[in-house]
């Protein structure tokens, strides 16, 4: 690891020194949209296959959340606070994922993509974790060896709301037991194509964010890629196959264009869903066809000018697909 990464981890350990590992088997997962376009015109999957590295947002200049990763921007400010000023400049900064304590087959944070990389325990050992996304400026952090404060925050969330990480339970002990069952099933999920052992988590907002320090070259750090089944038989699958790890397929999300509501992400969503369906002759939307629309917005923005910020509206299509599909 770099000296900056070591300083960042040491800073979090000093703030939250109480020992304790993950109470259930858990891997860091990195959700991503494999068919979105990078700045050079390649898809994300093509970049991963060719470069062999998952890069941070300061380097890629693309994001499936807010595009605020630039020097002087909000993400630099959050990282400065969270990691004690360990990082300067755009390179060498953390890569973001989430800790899949609940064993969700669609990944711990499907908000950020239809597919996810499953990372090795060695990567978890050089990651930090926060109870809440960094956009919320979380106050509870931890590491794989000092996870007690994050776990306590999750148990408190269950006590207050009856749910955490997309898993509902009547009490914290019942919730922890359900997590253990789900996590064990996810860990044993075979590499061969087959149905996931548990239902999709659909956990759009409830996740433990993971900040991976020290870079993320794929070789030796990724055990599998879990993909949306809408990419079967496509060039995206071919690119993912070149990553050199097994491909698993989660359940996938599908929703008729007419079922996208206006009350979840605003009134522009239903007409956009209908336009995508008509344009691609696909009355039922899925990750693959939404990706086609996203690429078209980048390549031919004038064709989508009737919508304010069409890329953001397409993100909303994806959010609703996760929740309702």
Band the pLDDT of 60: cuts 50, 70, 90.
low
Lowest mean pLDDT among 43-57, 62-76, 256-270: 62-76
Question: Which pLDDT score, from 0 to 100, does residue 69 have?
Answer: 46
Range in 139-143, 185-189, 276-280, 307-311 with the lowest mean pLDDT? 185-189
pLDDT digits 0-9 by tens, 2-59: 999 999 999 999 999 999 999 999 999 999 999 999 989 999 999 999 999 999 876 7
* pLDDT tops 50 at residue 115: yes
- With a CB cutoff of 8 Å and minimum separation 6, the contacts of 44 are 32, 33, 34, 35, 36, 37, 38, 62
pTM: 0.95
Question: Each residue of 129-186: pLDDT tens digit?
Answer: 999 999 999 999 999 999 999 999 999 999 999 999 999 999 999 999 999 999 989 8
pLDDT band at 195 (very low <50, low <70, confident <90, very high): confident
Rounded-to-integer distance, Cα 203 and Cα 247, Å:
22
Q: Are 186 and 197 in contact (CB under 8 A)?
A: yes
Q: Domain-by-domain residue ranges, the chain?
A: 3-249, 255-324
Q: What is the pLDDT of residue 89?
A: 82
Task: Tell me how long the chain is.
Answer: 325
Phi, psi of 163 (to 5 degrees): -160, 150
Q: What is the mean pLDDT of residues 272-294?
A: 99
Whole-number pLDDT of residue 55? 93
pLDDT at 194 over 90: no
């Amino acid at each position: 690891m770099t000296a900056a990464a070591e300083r960042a981890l040491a800073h979090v350990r000093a703030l939250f020194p109480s020992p304790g590992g993950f109470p259930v088997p858990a891997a860091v997962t990195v959700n991503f949209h494999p068919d979105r376009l990078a700045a050079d015109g390649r898809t994300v999957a093509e970049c991963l296959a060719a470069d062999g590295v998952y890069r941070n947002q300061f380097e890629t200049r693309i994001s499936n959340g807010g595009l605020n990763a630039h020097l002087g921007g909000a993400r630099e400010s959050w990282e400065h606070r969270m990691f004690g000023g360990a990082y300067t400049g755009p390179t060498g900064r953390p890569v973001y994922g989430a800790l899949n304590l609940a064993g969700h087959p669609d990944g711990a944070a499907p908000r950020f993509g239809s597919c996810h990389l499953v990372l090795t325990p060695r990567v978890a050992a050089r990651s930090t974790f926060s109870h809440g996304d960094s956009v919320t400026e979380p106050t509870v952090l931890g590491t794989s060896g000092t996870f007690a404060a994050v776990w306590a925050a999750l148990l408190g969330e269950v006590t207050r709301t009856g749910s955490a990480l997309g898993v509902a339970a009547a009490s914290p002990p019942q919730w922890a037991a359900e997590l253990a069952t789900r996590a064990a099933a996810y860990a044993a999920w075979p590499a061969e194509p087959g149905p996931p052992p548990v239902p999709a988590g659909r956990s759009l907002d409830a996740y433990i964010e993971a900040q991976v320090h020290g870079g993320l070259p794929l070789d030796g750090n990724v055990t599998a890629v879990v993909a949306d089944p809408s990419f079967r038989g496509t060039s995206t699958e071919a690119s993912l196959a070149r990553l050199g790890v097994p491909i698993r397929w989660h359940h996938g999300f599908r929703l008729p264009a007419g079922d996208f509501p206006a009350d979840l992400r605003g009134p522009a969503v239903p007409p956009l869903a209908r336009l995508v369906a008509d344009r691609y002759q696909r009355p039922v939307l899925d990750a693959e066809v939404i990706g086609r629309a996203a690429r078209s917005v980048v390549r031919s923005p004038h064709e989508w000018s009737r919508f304010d910020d069409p890329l953001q509206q397409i993100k909303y299509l994806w959010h609703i697909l996760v929740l309702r599909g």
